[in-house]
Amino acid sequence: MQIQTPDWVKHAVFYQIFPDRFARTQQSRKFLLKNARWEDWNEIPTLQGYKGGDLWGVMEQLDYLQDLGINAIYFTPIFQSASNHRYHTHDYYQVDPLLGGNAAFMELLEAAHHRDIKVVLDGVFNHASRGFFCFHDILENGPHSPWLDWFKVEGWPLSAYDGNYPANYVGWDGNRALPEFNHENPEVREYIMQVAEHWLRLGIDGWRLDVPFCITAEGFWQEFRDRVKAANPEAYIVGEVWRDAREWLQGDQFDGVMNYLFTAPTIAFAAGDRVDLEQVQDRSYDPYPALFAPDYAQKMQELLKLYPWEIQLTQLNLLASHDTARLLSIAGGDPASVELSTLLLLTFPGAPSIYYGDEVGLPGKLDPDSRRGFPLEAHWNLEVLAYHRQLIAIRHQYRALRIGSYEVLYAEGTVYVFARCLDEEELIVAVNVGTEPAKVHFEVNSLKTQPKQHLYGSAEATWTDELTLSLPARSGSILA
């Protein structure tokens, strides 16, 4: 089978938006909750509080995003949900009224497309919420409900809210707030397929799939792909799979996954011993123990061999998400760890995804802290913003960084050097994670050119028989 993935993803730089926290409209377009008592935008978030971000607010920030170089947005869930993260879907056909509802979303979608910015939504299809209509009917009518076969009811009575009694239905991860669909029921399957098609027909550019590994019904994701691609052949399907995802990346299911297999080694290499274990332990990725360059090279090479190249180019690469602590906090506040990782992110094959706020230096420990309100401009770290802009711009400028080959040129101690090449376009990326300057030299046989022009950073390159690189401490450079 020839594997086909959407071309636009290969050239995309994503921005991940947690809608309750990115931007609150400055205009008064709301008719509901105009005067709501939101949780203070600038205070540390709580697990249950809403800060009142909305899609009109996102619309008002499209200039900002475009200026940053973003050409795709991945929204964590936007559908009607009784939770600030909206992973507890209440209605798959309604954008949350707190966000502006379907009308605001359609307006945003049009505005984004007008700027050639793609929009990918988060599909939570493994489970719904206690308030989701069909499950709610079971809560209200018990064995009389016609929706019984839609969920995994195991006994009576159900106890949806009282933890002192068995729930008597299957909830995701044992959580009774998240009743799991019965995907063996063909009608449930059809329902989910139609939801996916519906939003594609309305114009979205793809689906990010929440915990797709939990849905094990045979052929489910194959059918999902078939129907999504029939609705929009260029739609992007990206699964939340934290580890080896070969099962889903053979071309018949997803175009890519949240590439935590890139995230973890990159943090372990760039931040090294600075990693605050409390922020990463017992998660589904391992940004520790610290890695030196040879190990990092090996991890990247293994990763690049794990999936077909066409898939590699449409992976969703990231340093942080709503499900992790932010890298700045993982790295104990060390700015260089973030910059080095960001450089590696923006020069890796696959679509980089910036978690909102990372680009202005927003810190954040594990949830709920990693979901703070996007800071006021006065609190932005402008240096961080500047290098994000610069690295994104460089990626957009050089096709080699997006779809060129990836070749490790050198990996010793704290120094990691690789090339990205496409036809005549050849770039060298060099990183020294050590706290001392490094000077390395090595033979380069595989390049046609001798890149030495500084695109980023201040490494000095001298070409003789060998390439000699002088790398400041804790720095990274791109040469063309």
Pick the closer one to its own copies by CB: 8 or 38: 38
CA dist., res. 375 & res. 125, Å (int): 32
Integer angstrom CA distances of residue 303 from 153, 283, 315, 340, 469: 40, 20, 11, 19, 26
55 interacts with its own copies by CB under 8 A: no
| Pairing state between β 118-123 and 475-479 | unpaired
Stretch near its own copies under the rule CB under 8 A, chosen from 125-133, 221-229, 232-240, 426-434: 125-133
Q: Does 171 bind its own copies (CB under 8 A)?
A: no
Query: Rule CB under 8 A: which of 12-41 touch its own copies?
Result: 31-34, 36-39
Q: How far is the CB of 48 from its own copies (least distance, A)?
A: 4
Q: Which is nearer to its own copies, 52 or 364 (CB)?
A: 52
Contact window for its own copies (CB under 8 A) among 75-83, 202-210, 395-403, 438-446: 75-83
- Asked whether 341 and 358 are in contact (CB, 8 A), the reply is no
# binding residues, its own copies (CB under 8 A): 44
Listed in sequence order, the residues at least 6 apart from 69 whose beta carbon sits closer than 8 Å to its beta carbon are 13, 389, 392, 393, 395, 396
The strand order across the sheet containing 206-209 reads 256-257, 236-239, 206-209, 118-123, 72-75, 14-17, 351-355, 316-318
Which of 40, 110, 116, 187 contacts its own copies by CB under 8 A?
187
Least Cβ distance, residue 11 to its own copies (angstroms): 38
Is 276 an annotated catalytic residue?
A: no
In 3D space, the residue among 473, 477, 428, 470 whose CA is nearest the CA of residue 449 turns out to be 428
Location of structure tokens 């906090």: 329
Distance between CA 259 and CA 456 in Å, rounded? 25
Min dist CB 157 to its own copies, Å, is: 9
Q: Which of 442, 436, 438 is nearest to 415 (CA)?
A: 438
Instruction: Mark the segment that binds its own copies (CB under 8 A) among 188-196, 202-210, 250-258, 321-329.
Output: 188-196
Task: Output the smallest distance, CB 123 to its own copies, in A.
Answer: 19
Asked if residue 212 binds its own copies (CB under 8 A), the reply is: no
Of 238, 234, 241, the closest CA to residue 253 belongs to 238
| 227 HSE (CA, 13 A, CB side) | 20
- Exactly one of 42, 141, 216, 281 binds its own copies (CB under 8 A); that residue is 141
Q: What is the smallest separation between the CB atom of 160 and its own copies, expressed in angstroms?
A: 7
Span near its own copies by CB under 8 A; candidates 132-140, 260-268, 335-343, 370-378: 132-140
Q: Kindly state the smallest distance separating residue 189's Cβ from its own copies, in Å.
A: 11
- CA separation for the pair 273, 257 (Å, rounded): 27
Q: C-beta of 136: minimal distance to its own copies in Å?
A: 4
Residue 459 · residue 430 · CB < 8 Å: yes
Q: Which secondary structure element, helix H or strand E, spans residue 79, and what is its range?
A: strand 79-81
Which residue number, 99 or 258, has a Cβ lying nearer to its own copies?
Answer: 99
Stretch (H or E) spanning 102: helix 101-114
Figure out which of the listed residues 2, 26, 27, 144 binds its own copies, where binding follows CB under 8 A: 144
Q: Give the nearer residue to its own copies in terms of CB position, either 25 or 324.
A: 25
Q: Is 210 a catalytic residue?
A: yes
Nearer to its own copies, 116 or 190 (CB): 190
Is 82 a binding residue for its own copies by CB under 8 A? The answer is yes
Phi and psi for 426 in degrees, rounded to 5? -135, 130
Q: 145, 117, 289, 137: which is closest to 204 by C-alpha?
A: 117
Task: Point out the catalytic residue in the list 96, 240, 358, 359.
Answer: 240
Q: Which residues bind its own copies (CB under 8 A)?
A: 31-34, 36-39, 46, 48-50, 52, 80, 82-84, 88, 90-91, 97-98, 129-131, 133, 136-137, 139-142, 144-147, 160-162, 177, 187, 190-191, 194
